[in-house]
Structures are given as C-alpha cells and as structure tokens.
Amino acid sequence: MMSFLGKLILKILKNANLKELSKHQNTNIKIGNFCDFKFYNGYKRISFGKDINVRDNCHFLVGKNASLKIENNVFFNNNCSVNCLDSIEIGENTLFGESVKLYDHNHEYTSSPNFKVEHQKFTTAPVKIGKNCWLGSNVVVLKGVTIGDNTIIGAGCIIHKDVPANSVLINKQEQIVKSI
C-alpha cells in the first residue's frame, strides 16, 4: 500500500509532466506513473495528436534541433522509451507493447589510431512508423528505419532496416530443448 507521501510525490510528478506537455498540444493525453518528458531548448517541433495513452515508466527525450510527431490514438505500454535527436514520427492508431525502444541516433566512434566511443557526438537518421501498426514487447527500432502502415512487429525484434507496409515481421528463433 502506497503511503500518503508517495501518492503526493506521484501527483506532483504527473502534474509537472502534464504542465510541460500542455505547452506542445491541446489534446487528451493520459499519463501513467513515473513517466519522464525531457524537451531540450531549441527543438524543431513537438506535436501530439488526440487520445494518446502513456502507461507507467515511459521516457520521452527530444533534443536540440529534433522533432517528434505522434498522431492520434497512439498507445504506449509500460516502460517504453522514445529517444529523439533527429526526427521520429508515429502514425495514428499505433500500439506499442511493453518496453519498446525507439532511437533515431547512435554514438559516433573512431577505430584508429585508438578505439573511442563518443559520449556526446551522434550519427542520426529519421525514424518513421506508419499508421495502424503494432510493435510487440521489447522491440527496438534503430535510426533510419521506416515501418510502413498496417504492420505488426513481433516481440523481441531489433529493427535496423525498413519494413514494408502490410507486413508481419517476426524474429525467427529456434528453441532447442535438451534432456539433462
């Protein structure tokens, strides 16, 4: 059972998120507990459609010079993460299973003369997810990907290239059971 103080903190956090979102949209958006919205100064565009539902523990980041567009009737299940340093667009009537991650960027790195991964330098490419899509639990969408309309992405898939419209994509895995 949650204490009075815990409920008060949740309410303050949720109100802060709603206040930040109200600057960018005039729609009906439902936000669960422990969600985080970080919109950095100098972003290009943030657009939210109507009837967006965001469950618990979701994270949204929009960096400087980035744009995020979420159309009407989009559902984010628990623990989703949208990380936008370039451009991410999500079409209407799209569903995200638990723990879906969207990244429109990768860290830059050098291999010679010495290997180094940059902490604050990125390569970017837009991500576009069509209308009427369903991304199952634990799907990861990487930079530069377009997912066509009316598409289902099976649980656990890592999407690193385009998926055509009217498709079902599954991660073919072989399960091997051995006797002990």
Residues taking part in catalysis: 107
Q: How many CB atoms lie within 10 A of CB 61?
A: 16
**CA 174 from centroid of its chain's CA atoms:** 28
| DSSP assignment string, 132-172 | S-EE-TT-EE-TT-EE-SS-EE-TT-EE-S-B-SS-EE---
φ and ψ of 123, to 5 deg: -100, 140
H or E element, residue 20: helix 4-22
CA 156 – CA 124 distance, rounded (Å):
23
3-state secondary structure of 107: strand
| Helix, strand, coil fractions of the chain, as percent rounded to 5 | 10, 40, 50
